[in-house]
A = this chain, B = another copy of it.
């Protein structure tokens, strides 16, 4: 049967959404296969085991986010607050289009450590660079002084948290229409700017 898009890519795509929304262990291969419209064994042809599938999903997600973030940083102005805003906006777009993306990132902490270690070591240099950058900007007096490691984590937690908890937003009456999304994004940016301004 002729495939419109690669079966492998379709599987990765659907699996990303399901894993991100419901968690790795909560999603069965049968469910993914049904969603893709293919037999379970087709999954196991492309990915020899569920663990392997999870690993590939994580790798693809990390790559996608890394590209978006890199691009945002490269084309961002020099002022650190503008830079943070650029990165947050860049991540926000794909994250709200697919809540599962950042949800996936959160899922990593539930993996057996050996599985997540590969990813961790790959992301580590990026994180280290972010922390170093933040430290130097703090020294410059262009960002509010503080423990740069923890501040980086706090910014990450805020963005990831707000993008992956529709429940919290629903509880305060927020609606996910286009106007709501823009308000949320702008309020998030203002919140972070206020938190980081010297």
A contact residues vs B (CB 8 Å cutoff): 21-26, 106, 108-110, 116, 120, 123-124, 127, 131, 144, 146-147, 149-154, 156-158, 160-162, 165-174, 183-184, 187-188, 190-192, 194-197
- C-alpha gap A191/B193 in the complex (Å): 11
Is the CB–CB distance between A167 and B21 below 8 Å? Answer: no
Is the CB–CB distance between A110 and B21 below 8 Å? Answer: yes
- Chain B residues with CB under 8 Å of A150's CB are 169, 172, 174, 183-184, 187-188
Question: A22-B25, A149-B174, A150-B187 are known contacts. Are A168 and B196 too (CB-CB below 8 A)?
Answer: no
Q: Count chain B CB atoms within 10 A of each CB in A152, A157, A165, A195 and give the residue with the most.
A: A157
- C-alpha gap A160/B159 in the complex (Å): 12
Given contacts A150-B187, A153-B162, 18 further A-B contacts (CB under 8 A): A23-B23, A23-B110, A25-B25, A108-B167, A124-B171, A127-B171, A149-B173, A149-B174, A150-B183, A151-B191, A156-B168, A157-B165, A157-B168, A160-B161, A160-B165, A191-B195, A194-B196, A195-B195
Is the CB–CB distance between A165 and B106 below 8 Å? Answer: yes
Q: SS class of chain A's interface: helix, strand, loop or mixed?
A: helix
Contact partner, A110, options B26, B116, B162, B169, Cβ 8 Å: B26
Copies in the complex: 2
Q: Which residue of B lies closest to A147 (CB)?
A: B187
Nearest-neighbour CB distance to chain B for A22, whole angstroms, equals 6
- Chain B residues with CB under 8 Å of A158's CB are 154, 157-158, 161
- Chain B residues with CB under 8 Å of A123's CB are 171
- Chain B residues with CB under 8 Å of A156's CB are 161, 165, 168
- C-alpha gap A147/B166 in the complex (Å): 17
- C-alpha gap A170/B111 in the complex (Å): 14
- C-alpha gap A154/B109 in the complex (Å): 22
Is the CB–CB distance between A109 and B166 below 8 Å? Answer: yes
Q: Count chain B CB atoms within 10 A of each CB in A151, A169, A172, A183 and give the residue with the most.
A: A172
